[in-house]
Amino acid sequence: MSVQIFTAKPLFTALSALAILFSCIAASSWKSDEYKSGIVWPEPPIINPGTATTAPSDAIVLFDGNNLDAFENGDAWEIADGVATVKGKTIRTKQTFGDCQLHLEFASPAEVKGDGQGRGNSGIYFMDKYELQVLDSFNNKTYFDGQCGAIYKQQPPTVNACRGPGEWQRLDIVFTAPRFNEDGSVKSPAYITAFHNGVLIHNHFELLGGTYWDQPAHYEKHPDKLPISIQDHGNPIRYRNIWVRENIHPLDGKKPEE
């Protein structure tokens, strides 16, 4: 008695071929259906991003360790070994700024004196009105919307990322200036995004107005550009490597028909 053995190999071979064919068709269809916006983009400018101690090539250097000529009252501060120490006066940039990215490094005094707001106090003011607090908040309690990295009297930082007294720290802040209508009403508010020692502490926070210690936040119409200030609050805070970039807006692309 003979037994016939049937094999499915030809069938499987045919199915495999069909699978490959459908895969090719699907891949071809996917490629042909790729979305294209049609927007013609300008080439992003090529810059040198700088290093840990040097500014990007498109930045405006405010302090590189040599002098504070970019600031009013800059001659009042003490400069030694590439570091500027707060002394006697608040300094303000001679150039005015609106939307910008600001980078700086600071160190509170290594010898701890005072507590709360009296310990390592300074501040970064955009447009002379909107302050991000500088303070020695390492094991130093104060009101939370006044500690280091706070948007003063409006919003505490999401975390306390302070290093110890005397240690160098860095702040990277993106500021969006407010816009006003002709009648003085707010067209769009100010925003701050900030990183303290590389840690995000504010993510596009909407400011309620100017940051005042003696009154609620509110807006008052002002020019589109004003100085950046670094506060003297009576403590010898040290600063270095201060620079600002204004090239922070999205590229403007256009569709061909435009």
> Could you report the per-residue pLDDT of 12-39, keeping only the tens digit for each?
455 555 566 556 555 555 556 888 888 9
Q: Count the neighbouring beta carbons within 10 Å of the beta carbon of residue 1.
A: 2
140 pLDDT above the threshold of 50: yes
- C-alpha to C-alpha distance for 61 and 50, rounded to whole angstroms: 12
Model-level pTM? 0.85
Q: Which two tokens stand for residue 135?
A: 């303070």
- Residues 75-105 have pLDDT tens digits of 999 999 999 999 989 999 999 999 999 999 9
- C-alpha to C-alpha distance for 153 and 92, rounded to whole angstroms: 22
199 pLDDT above the threshold of 90: yes
40-49, 125-134, 201-210: which has the minimum mean pLDDT?
40-49
What value does the mean pLDDT of the chain take? Answer: 90
- C-alpha to C-alpha distance for 35 and 143, rounded to whole angstroms: 51
- C-alpha to C-alpha distance for 213 and 124, rounded to whole angstroms: 14
pLDDT of residue 232: 96
pLDDT of residue 15: 52
SS3 (DSSP) at 176? strand
Q: Give 51 or 13, the one with higher predicted confidence.
A: 51
Give strand pairing partners of 130.
Answer: 126
- C-alpha to C-alpha distance for 113 and 12, rounded to whole angstroms: 83
Q: Which domains does the chain carry? A: 60-245 (2.60.120.560)
Quickly state the pLDDT bin for 6 (edges 50, 70, 90).
very low
Phi and psi dihedrals of 144, rounded to 5? Answer: -65, -35
Q: Write down the H helix ranges in the chain.
A: 9-32
| Strand 169-176 to 191-196 pairing | antiparallel
